[in-house]
DNA sequence: ACACTTTAGTCAGATTATCTGACCATTTCG
DNA sequence: CGAAATGGTCAGATAATCTGACTAAAGTGT
């Protein structure tokens, strides 16, 4: 396959990372699906509203609600009252959720280390910086 | 959101690109779903076996077969005999499929142009080169 | 203060994508 | 040749996602 598109080039390492992190988290005793993890990843440390989660994960609020229900079931998050708005509730990360995040972060650091070794520290930091700049024009939330 | 992970940083532009390309292709009169497109994207110009498509797209061959059926239905690909192996068939891109690809490629070029403008030509080429190197250790097919 | 509009979230039902397991036909290899 | 591997399909189950309709609370303008 000659000259893969930038889209594919972005996707390949993304999927590699995602899959390895997911495998590690599940393997460490935190069963979770990919779809659940994609929402979980977006939960703000201070708690998130369902609507915001849905927007960030680019799914409907129904889908987000469905997945949050499962995350609650798994013990990773809890729903608490939003004292500032009686319609809303906040999705908040539990202790167990934080434990799972710790596992994820460790694997992520490990993988980033591999990438740094392969590219060289300079190129690695450059890559990160370039991606951050790209985010400015590709992330509606940035 | 401070300091997003590299995973997220890779994902954001990827999704942006994918969504815009998909919207354009569908808008140009080539209805296709995301899942179908992800398989379609992997069809080799010379034709691909289902098993290879499945591996490249990281789905089971049943799923790949299901999606290829729909691509055939949409007129984007056809299944032809593989003269070298009577068990196999080749998935081959049709004329209509190539037309759809032309639309996709045009949008993709447009987006890459935007990125190049934003990052500067030098950084853009660097990014592409770094991602190519990253592919060496993240793509089982490279 | 009251009607109107917007926002947060849920309920119900349908569709799409995906998997596992079992199976058949053909090819490859000892 | 016979056993094992390979390419693919069939059947059935589950996961993820959507659209549409709805309730309740908040915000807005006169």
A77, A45: one domain = yes
pLDDT score for A2: 54
Read off the CATH number of the domain in which B82 is found. 1.10.10.10
CB nearest to A10's CB, from B10, B119, B123: B10
Task: Mark residues 4-63 of chain B whose C-beta is closer than 7 A to nucleic acid strand C.
Answer: 33-36, 38, 58-60, 62-63
Task: Quote the radius of gyration of chain B (alpha carbons, Å).
Answer: 17
Co-location of B89 and B128 in the same domain: no
- Residues A47, A23: one domain? no
Cβ contact, residue pair B14, A11, below 8 Å: yes
Chain B contact for A5 (CB, 8 A cutoff) = yes
One domain for residues B55 and B83: yes
What pLDDT shows up at residue B39?
96
CB atoms within 10 A of CB A30: 20
B126 and B109 share a domain?
yes
Strands, DSSP E only, in B58-100?
77-81, 89-93
Same domain flag for A39 and A86: yes
For A112, the domain range is: 1-30+94-142
pLDDT-flagged residues of chain A (< 50):
1
Q: How far is the CA of B132 from the C1' of D17 (A)?
A: 33
The confidence score (pLDDT) of residue B10 equals 93
Whether chain A has a CB inside 8 Å of the CB on B120: the answer is no
Chain A contact set for B14 (CB, 8 A): 7, 10-11, 14
Domain boundary among B78, B93, B108: B93
Domain check: are A66 and A89 in the same one? yes
Residues of chain B with Cβ-Cβ distance to A13 below 8 Å are: 10, 131, 134-135, 138
Task: From B58, B78, B93, give the residue that closes a domain.
Answer: B93
Same domain for B85 and B36: yes
Q: What is the pLDDT of residues A98-128, one digit of tens each?
A: 999 999 999 999 999 999 999 999 999 999 9
Closest CA to B51 of B37, B65, B69: B65
Residues A21 and A49 in one domain: no
Could you list the protein residues whose CB lies below 7 A from any atom in strand D?
A 33-36, 38, 58-60, 62-63, 66-67, 70, 85-87; B 49-52, 61-62, 65, 79, 82, 85, 87-90
Q: How far is A92 from chain B (nearest CA, A)?
A: 16
Residues in chain B with pLDDT values less than 50 = 1
B91-B96-B97 Cα angle (round to 5): 45
Q: What is the 3-state secondary structure (H, E, C) of chain A?
A: CCCCCHHHHHHHHHHHHHHHHHHHHHHCCCCCCHHHHHHHCCCCCCCEEHHHHHHHHCCCHHHHHHHHHHHHHCCCEEEEECCCCCCCEEEEECHHHHHHHHHHHHHHHHHHHHHHHHHCHHHHHHHHHHHHHHHHHHCCCC
The domain total for chain A is: 2
Same-domain check for residues B21 and B37: no
B59 shares a domain with B111: no
Residues B52 and B87 in one domain: yes
């Amino acid at each position: 396959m000659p000259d893969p598109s930038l889209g594919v080039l972005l996707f390949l390492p993304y999927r590699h990372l995602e899959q390895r992190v997911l495998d590690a988290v599940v393997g460490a005793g935190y069963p979770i699906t990919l779809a659940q993890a994609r929402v979980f990843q977006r939960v703000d440390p201070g708690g998130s509203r369902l609507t915001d989660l849905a927007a960030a994960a680019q799914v409907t609020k129904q889908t987000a609600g469905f997945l949050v229900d499962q995350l609650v079931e798994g013990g990773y998050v809890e729903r608490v009252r939003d004292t500032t708005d009686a319609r809303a509730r906040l999705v908040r990360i539990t202790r167990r959720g934080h434990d799972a995040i710790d596992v994820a972060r460790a694997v992520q650091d490990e993988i980033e280390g591999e990438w740094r070794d392969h590219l060289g520290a300079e190129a690695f930091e450059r890559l990160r910086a370039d991606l951050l700049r790209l985010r400015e024009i590709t992330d509606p939330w940035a």
